[in-house]
C-alpha cells in the first residue's frame, strides 16, 4: 500500500475546499447581473410578482409555477460557468401593461421569450437584434 505524503494530502484538501466553494457560491445560483436585469425587466413589464430575494433559477415561485404560462427556465450546466443563466422566459396571459423591455439584452443566454396575450406597449427594442434570442412570441391583445 502506498503512503500519502503530506503535500499530496494538502493538495487533496485544497481541491476538496475548492469544490465545496464552487458548490456553495454560484454553481446553482443565478448570475447577479441577470438577477438585476430580471428585476429591471419586471418593472418595465409591470410584473409585480417577481421577487429577486428568491433566486430566479431556484425553480421556486414566483419564478416557476405549475402553470405553463408563468416560468423562468435556467441552464446551470454551461461549460466554464459557475452560475446559472436564464434561457427561457414565459409570461403568457399575465395581463402585463408595461413596455417591451430593453433589459432583455442583459440576459446573454436568453434563447426564448413568450409575452403573448398581454397589453404591452412600444416597438420591439432595437437592442433585441444583438441578443441570442431564437424564439420570440409577442402576440398582443388590444384594449
Choice among 11-15, 44-48, 96-100, 132-136 with the minimum mean pLDDT: 11-15
- Using the predicted structure, report yes or no on whether residue 108 has a pLDDT greater than 60: yes
Mean per-residue pLDDT, 54-65: 92
Tell me the average pLDDT of the chain: 85
CB atoms within 10 A of CB 2: 5
Average pLDDT over residues 92-121: 94
Look at the chain and count its residues.
Answer: 143
Q: Are strands 70-75 and 112-114 parallel, antiparallel or unpaired?
A: unpaired
Where residue 5 falls among pLDDT bands split at 50, 70, 90?
A: confident
In terms of phi and psi (left: phi > 0; alpha: psi -120 to 50; beta: otherwise), the region of 80 is left
Mean pLDDT within 119-130: 90
pLDDT value at position 1? 62
Whether the Cβ atoms of residue 134 and residue 110 lie closer than 8 Å to each other: no
Question: How high is the pLDDT of residue 139?
Answer: 76
Q: In terms of pTM, does the model score above 0.75?
A: yes
- Which of 12-16, 104-108, 111-115, 122-126 bottoms out in mean pLDDT, i.e. has the lowest? 12-16
How many CB atoms sit inside 10 A of residue 79's CB? 4
Amino acid at each position: 500500500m502506498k503512503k500519502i505524503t503530506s503535500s499530496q494530502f494538502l493538495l487533496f484538501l485544497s481541491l476538496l475546499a475548492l469544490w465545496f466553494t464552487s458548490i456553495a457560491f454560484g454553481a446553482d445560483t443565478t448570475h447577479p447581473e441577470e438577477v438585476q436585469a430580471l428585476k429591471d425587466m419586471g418593472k418595465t413589464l409591470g410584473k409585480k410578482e417577481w421577487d429577486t430575494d428568491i433566486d430566479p433559477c431556484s425553480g421556486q415561485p414566483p419564478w416557476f409555477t405549475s402553470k405553463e404560462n408563468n416560468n423562468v427556465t435556467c441552464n446551470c450546466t454551461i461549460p466554464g460557468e459557475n452560475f446559472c443563466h436564464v434561457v427561457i422566459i414565459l409570461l403568457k396571459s399575465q395581463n402585463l401593461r408595461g413596455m417591451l423591455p430593453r433589459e432583455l439584452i442583459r440576459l446573454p443566454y436568453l434563447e426564448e421569450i413568450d409575452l403573448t396575450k398581454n397589453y404591452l406597449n412600444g416597438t420591439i427594442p432595437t437592442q433585441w437584434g444583438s441578443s441570442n434570442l431564437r424564439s420570440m412570441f409577442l402576440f398582443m391583445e388590444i384594449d
